[in-house]
Amino acid sequence: MKFNKTLIKSKLKASAVHLGISLIIFFILAYQIYYVWYPQPYFSVDGGWQGIRIIAAVDLVLGPLITFLIFDWSKSRRAITFDLVTIAVIQISALVYGVATTYNQRPVAIILADEYFIPAIESDYGSQLESMSELSQYSAESPPIIWSEIAIDRAVLDEVMRIKFDKKIVEYAQIQLYQPAEKLMFGLQKRQVNTMTILDLSGAQQRYGQWLEKNQKSPDEVLLGLFNGRYGRIWLVFDSTAKYIDYFK
């Protein structure tokens, strides 16, 4: 019994040290996810929270748990070294996978297509761009907020379909359809009647009224757009010139 207590204490101590190191790594990655890859308002509705949970499960649970199960101070130095290397390989491999998945699914652009805003991820663009930074020419926001407009023209529609089926690039990620930043206002204005109808049908009219009252705005001073995230919806609020200013749920 005495030996078991000593073993458990050594396991807990090793796990605590591992957890301390893991916490530092976790907070660094959490900052990156929350402020850079999935900035508000997209964190809670487009995958940021899911990414945080993946990283937490791997970094704060998996690693320390494996350390507790495997670590045994009574083993030889060689055996302990082997165990620690094994733990590190398992955790780092899982962490790299989780971070890569979270990074690859981050929204690199917010696209106004049809009646909604939708997220675009890096893989949506195929080989059209050398760098995602090229999207900044369409918007000063981060990630860029872009209007994608398909003209009602047979030749344009045929080209859109050709790119979609030949190059596997969906309509909202085809950059030849992207409009300059100054035209976003026109795109939002065109949709305001339908947007307000959607607002009423979704039951968000009261929350909109509360937002207007809180921010001392009138309906004439703002433009709205519904963002359909992968894990929820939010309403994006723009001023009358289509500059993004806030959101509400």
CA-CA distances (angstroms) from residue 63 to 53, 55, 131, 186?
A: 14, 11, 34, 52
Tokens of 220: 């004439």
How much is the pLDDT for 1?
Answer: 40
- The packing angle between helices 63-70 and 77-104, to 10°, is 160
Which residue in 223, 129, 238, 240 sits closest to 178, CA to CA? 129
How much is the pLDDT for 3?
Answer: 53
How much is the pLDDT for 188?
Answer: 97
Tokens of 117: 């805003």
pLDDT along the chain (249 residues), means of 10: 70 88 94 96 96 92 88 83 88 92 97 95 96 95 96 88 95 96 96 96 95 96 97 97 96
List residues bridging with 113 in a β-sheet: 116
How much is the pLDDT for 202?
Answer: 93
Q: Would you call 91 helix, strand, or coil by DSSP?
A: helix
How much is the pLDDT for 243?
Answer: 96
Per domain, the residue ranges of the chain are 2-104, 109-248
- Tell me if the pTM is above 0.85: yes
| CA atoms of 62 and 19, how far apart (whole Å) | 10
